[in-house]
């Protein structure tokens, strides 16, 4: 059995580095904090499931549907300009799980949204 070290991130570190980048990366995971003050591009990850926990603020988030303006940015990574169809979620202190292969998009961010991200890579 492979033993990995436990990783601990005290609140002071998480707070001071919020939205700056990764807390932990491994072969099958990526853990980070994120902050948005405006909408982003549509994303689709072929081999990553995203788990977002909204900590503060709010956003209009779209999942599913058809990605428009699709272009590959890296192996298994796609970006787009819009989603046709899809399901609208009003995120505010919620958790949302986006399976690999599902387009998703922060369509509107009225002020700011802070969230914790776990990417499970398979």
Split into its structural domains, the chain has a count of 1
SS3 58: coil
Which residues make beta-bridge pairs with 120?
A: 29, 49
Averaged pLDDT, groups of 10, the chain, 122 residues long:
80 84 88 94 98 97 98 98 98 98 98 95 94
Looking at residue 1, what is its pLDDT?
60
CATH of the domain at 81: 2.60.120.370
Within-domain flag for 55: yes
Within-domain flag for 57: yes
CA-to-CA distance for 70 and 55, rounded, in angstroms? Answer: 30
Give the domain range for residue 27. 23-121
């Amino acid at each position: 059995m492979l033993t990995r070290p436990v990783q601990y991130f005290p609140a002071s570190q998480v707070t001071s580095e919020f939205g700056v980048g990764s807390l932990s990366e491994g072969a099958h995971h990526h853990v980070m904090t994120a902050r948005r003050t405006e909408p982003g591009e549509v994303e689709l990850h072929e081999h990553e499931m995203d788990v977002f926990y909204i900590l503060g603020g709010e956003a209009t988030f779209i999942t599913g549907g058809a990605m428009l303006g699709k272009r590959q940015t890296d192996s298994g990574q796609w970006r787009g300009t819009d989603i046709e169809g899809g399901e609208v979620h009003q995120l505010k202190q919620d958790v949302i799980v986006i399976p690999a292969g599902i387009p998703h998009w922060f369509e509107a961010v009225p002020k700011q949204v802070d969230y914790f991200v776990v990417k499970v890579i398979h």
